[in-house]
Amino acid sequence: MTIPREAAAYAGCLIILALTPWAATPAEACPFCGTVGQSLSQRRDEATVVAVGEAEGGDSADAQGFRSQQFRLDQLLRGNADAAVAGARVPARVVGPVAGTAVLFGTEAAAGATTRRTWSAVAADEIVLGYVAAAPAIDRPAAERLRWFAGRLEHPNATIAADAFTEFGLAPFATVRAAADALDPARLRAWVSEPGMDARRRGLYGLLLGVAAATQDPADSQTCLDALQQAIAAPADDFRAGFDGLLAGLLVAEGERGLDFLHDRGLFGRNARPLDQRHLLAALRFASESLADTIPRRRIIGATAALLASPVVAADATVDLARYQAWDELAAVARLWDTFGADDPIIRRAVAGYLTACPLPAASQALARIRTHNPALLQQALEAAALPPAR
């Protein structure tokens, strides 16, 4: 059966989206922060009961591998006074064993004709309890909330520091920009250069430093930009922690000039570190989603297409070009089949996906040529990408 061109192209687009790592991360959240889960204020405001309790005994895992622990409820912070009786003992889900005081969040769900309450707990001292009580409600204006959490990034209390990071990790980039006046450029400059900084946090702080550079007064802007450029130019280790966020921060701060700086640093060249180029692709994806006002689409496409010359990231760059519907790069993508694709089935799969999604007649011609010379390899690539037969 022959698959209509429109149906094949649509299926190709769906596969391109499925193959793209970027698609796994919501575009509105920080793409350099990983999965951050719920913040404490979200858990508080979505709970029907919030209480303070004391741990009793150790934690244990259930059949699904989730850990739980017994707690004695001592004080009700929020909710119906009848919902949690002082002295009651409840099992609560925990990330790890809690010793001593915890804040507990109770949520209710219908279970047949009854209502069932489940609990989760977070270890908490007086400082954390005060923080949970004072954190702005989730229905407050987003930028206003983020300003409050900005002052608690890298807080001396590890729980508060992690939660402030979570709030920024969940925030849309537009909200981060709107709260830029609450950022501390001096602290951000120190954090991006701190050797022991957690990788995800370094990525966020690189992005925030770019926001500060784009919105602060000229003197602060230049020092922020200098810090970003120095961090990018610093000698690389094996992991280059948070490098994608640093690159994105530079693009936020400098726009097209940031792309020129990265080109001059050799990041688009064949001699660049493969891991650095993966970080670069992540920064380009971010720019395509969030920086259209400062970096023209043609520059993003051109920068992505330049990475087709790198065998390590050529497949990912091909997938991104298909997502951007950058069909003018068809010839360069098709050539990959005979170059890097000769020995790499992942590249062949990406090329097959791009050519199947592309609506241009030249894409059909390229597929026909490949079918003539490599019918078995083409079929394997199409099957690997779960695509319909090539037209």
**Cα dihedral 233/239/242/247 (nearest 10):** 40
CB environment 260-283: b (16+ within 10 A), e (fewer): ebbeeeebbeeebbebbbbbbbbb
The CA distance from 358 to 373, in Å, is: 21
pLDDT at 114 (0 to 100): 76
pLDDT at 113 (0 to 100): 67
pLDDT at 234 (0 to 100): 84
The CA distance from 238 to 310, in Å, is: 19
The CA distance from 243 to 128, in Å, is: 31
pLDDT at 319 (0 to 100): 96
CB contact at 8 A, 207 and 30 = yes
**Dihedral class, residue 154 (left if φ above 0, else alpha if ψ from -120 to 50, else beta):** left
Residue 52 dihedral angles phi and psi, to the nearest 5°? -105, 135
pLDDT at 192 (0 to 100): 93
pLDDT at 47 (0 to 100): 93
Give average pLDDT by consecutive 10-residue segment, the chain, 391 residues.
41 45 52 88 94 92 88 89 75 93 89 80 96 96 97 97 96 95 95 88 95 85 93 77 92 96 92 91 95 95 96 96 96 96 94 95 96 92 72 53
Which domains does the chain carry?
A: 39-171 (2.40.50)
CB contact at 8 A, 261 and 230 = no
Please give the structure tokens belonging to residue 391.
């037209």
Which long-range CB contacts under 8 A does 183-189 form with residues at least 24 apart? 183/150, 183/208, 183/211, 183/212, 184/150, 184/151, 185/209, 185/212, 185/213, 185/216, 185/220, 185/223, 185/224, 187/153, 187/154, 188/212, 188/224, 188/227, 189/223, 189/224, 189/227
Residue with tokens 């959490």: 149
State the maximum Cα–Cα separation within the chain, in Å, rounded to a whole number.
77
The CA distance from 288 to 83, in Å, is: 49
Which long-range CB contacts under 8 A does 382-387 form with residues at least 24 apart? 382/352, 382/356, 384/345, 384/348, 384/349, 385/15, 385/19, 385/349, 385/352, 385/353, 385/356, 386/15, 387/8, 387/11, 387/12, 387/15, 387/352, 387/353, 387/356
> Is residue 107 within a helix (H) or strand (E), and if so which, with residue range?
strand 101-111
- Measure Cα distances from 380 to 89, 307, 346, 388 in Å: 58, 25, 11, 12
**Dihedral class, residue 162 (left if φ above 0, else alpha if ψ from -120 to 50, else beta):** alpha
The CA distance from 171 to 330, in Å, is: 36
> pTM for this one?
0.86
> In terms of Cα–Cα distance, which of 181, 250, 256 is closest to 210?
250
pLDDT at 4 (0 to 100): 44
CB contact at 8 A, 99 and 123 = yes
CB contact at 8 A, 74 and 52 = yes
- List the Cα angle 165/157/133 in 5-degree steps: 80
